[in-house]
Amino acid sequence: MTTKSMFALAVAAALAIGAGAPGEVQAASYGCFKVTASHLNIRDRPYSSAEVIGVVNRGDILEQRKLICTPRGFWCAVRKGSLEGYADKANMRKIACP
Evaluate whether residue 21 is within a structural domain. no
Evaluate whether residue 17 is within a structural domain. no
Domain ranges, residue 74: 27-95
Strands (E), the chain: 32-35, 39-43, 52-57, 61-64, 75-80, 83-88, 92-95
CATH classification of the domain holding 90: 2.30.30.40
The total number of structural domains that make up the chain: 1
The pLDDT assigned to 45 comes to 96
Evaluate whether residue 14 is within a structural domain. no
Per-residue confidence of the chain (98 residues) as pLDDT tens digits? Answer: 554 444 444 444 443 434 334 433 445 679 999 999 999 999 999 999 999 999 999 999 999 999 999 888 799 999 999 999 999 999 999 999 98
